[in-house]
Amino acid sequence: MLNNQMEGEIKKIAYVWLSAVAALSYSRLVSAKLPKGKWRLISIIPVLFLFAILPLHTPSAFIRALTAFFLTWLTSFKLLLFSFDSGPLHSDPPKSLPVFIAVATLPFTLAAAPRKPPKLPLNLPAQIAIAALLVSLLFEQRRNLHPVAVMLLYCLLLFLMIEILVGLSSKVVWALLGEELQSPSDEPYLAASLREFWGRRWNLTVNSILREAVFQPVRSLVGGGQAGPMIGVLASFAVSGIMHELLFWYLTPGARPTWEMTAFFVLHGVCVVAEFAGKGRWRLPGFVTVAFVIGTSFWLFFPPVMRNGADVRVIEEIRFAGELLLNFLFSFTT
């Protein structure tokens, strides 16, 4: 029975990603032939609609949210930029089809310069091992832990999951392109201000997409002076909040949005703008910055997920998938 269930789930995941590959092949081979702007955008709209519904066909909450993050958010934004000859999918000469698909679907940014060595080096195997320990601890002891301790572990696990996703993506990109990737994050726990945390240290892949897809167009639309960058920052944080609300909806389909996640990002956007307007006078000390991010995430970011029990389902699914992978690898060594 379990094998039949696993086989069915694997078929659903394969269907989703084969559909995504087919849609991106169309985008590369058909839409790319159209002139940039209105007509290319119109040709890509059906692909954007497909990427909005594909996550709903995945079998588990974790895979559904992950697929929505990859396709509904990142890939869709990359295609929107591609419609106007911008973003990571645009190049001259055009990217080959395999490279186009890899760049479109994987959460990475090519490194503009050699990576600097981190102050707290953690290689990919170590990150996976720590994440596995955290998942096991949360699975077995969550009910015995204080809610604050649980959310602290979630903060660490979220950081590690982003690092692992981009780390695994880098292996694929290295095989395809021979290119080094930008680090997914740049030790955000060392940030000396909120501007530094969100602008140069946390989740740099999403940061890059939001900068090109939201910040720069809004700043250009508003015009010069200080108002343009400030409104661009607020718009970027607002869009990020809405996309996180959407990811949460995919995680728990049917649940009504509480807009707490949007409030979290809008609050941070306002604080970043205040730092910008204050020209450094309002900058918080480093440890206060990190404490502020963690404290506000306890207040607004994690409660909606924990309130609906989605966090418990995700932890269970990650642990189950890990056990299946270990059993699969063990079967090849015995």
- Average pLDDT of span 270-298: 82
pLDDT digit string (tens) for 101-124? 988 988 766 665 555 666 666 777
Q: What is the DSSP letter of 71?
A: I
pLDDT digit string (tens) for 163-222? 888 777 777 777 766 666 667 788 888 888 899 999 988 988 899 999 999 999 999 998
Tell me which of 260 and 285 has the higher pLDDT. Answer: 260
pLDDT exceeds cutoff 70 at 279: no
What are the DSSP calls for 189-258, one per residue? GG-SSHHHIIIIIS-HHHHHHHIIIIIHHHHHHH-STTHHHHHHHHHHHHHHHHHHHHHHHHHSTTPPP-
pLDDT exceeds cutoff 70 at 134: yes
pLDDT exceeds cutoff 70 at 332: no
Residue 57: partners with Cβ closer than 8 Å, 6 or more residues away:
12, 15, 16
Query: Long-range contact list for 156-161, CB < 8 A, 24+ apart?
Result: 156/130, 157/131, 159/185, 159/188, 160/127, 160/130, 160/131, 160/134, 161/131
Domain ranges (residues) in the chain: 1-105, 111-334
Give dist(CA 110, CA 122) in Å, integer: 20
Give dist(CA 210, CA 198) in Å, integer: 11
Give dist(CA 151, CA 294) in Å, integer: 9
Give dist(CA 313, CA 61) in Å, integer: 7
* Predicted model pTM: 0.89
pLDDT exceeds cutoff 50 at 2: no
Residue 272: partners with Cβ closer than 8 Å, 6 or more residues away:
194, 195, 198, 199, 233, 237
pLDDT exceeds cutoff 50 at 280: yes
